[in-house]
Amino acid sequence: MAYEGMIAETISITGHNGDTISAYVARPLGAGPFPGVVLI
């Protein structure tokens, strides 16, 4: 999915005991650094 000025995607990461966890990642395009927010 793309919006002007940012990129967003769903990724999979490996969690505890090898469990697969789906995560949504969105970040601005261009050079950083950028502040971050983590939602659980």
CA distance 32 to 36: 11
Are 8 and 28 in contact, with CB atoms under 8 Å apart? no
Annotated domain spans of the chain: 1-29
Q: How remote is the C-alpha of 10 from its chain's centroid?
A: 7
pTM: 0.58
Are 26 and 1 in contact, with CB atoms under 8 Å apart? no
Kind plus residue range of the DSSP H or E element containing 6: strand 6-14
pLDDT in tens, 1-40: 656 788 999 999 999 999 999 999 988 998 889 888 888 8
CA distance 25 to 38: 10
* pLDDT of the residue at 36: 87
* pLDDT of the residue at 32: 85
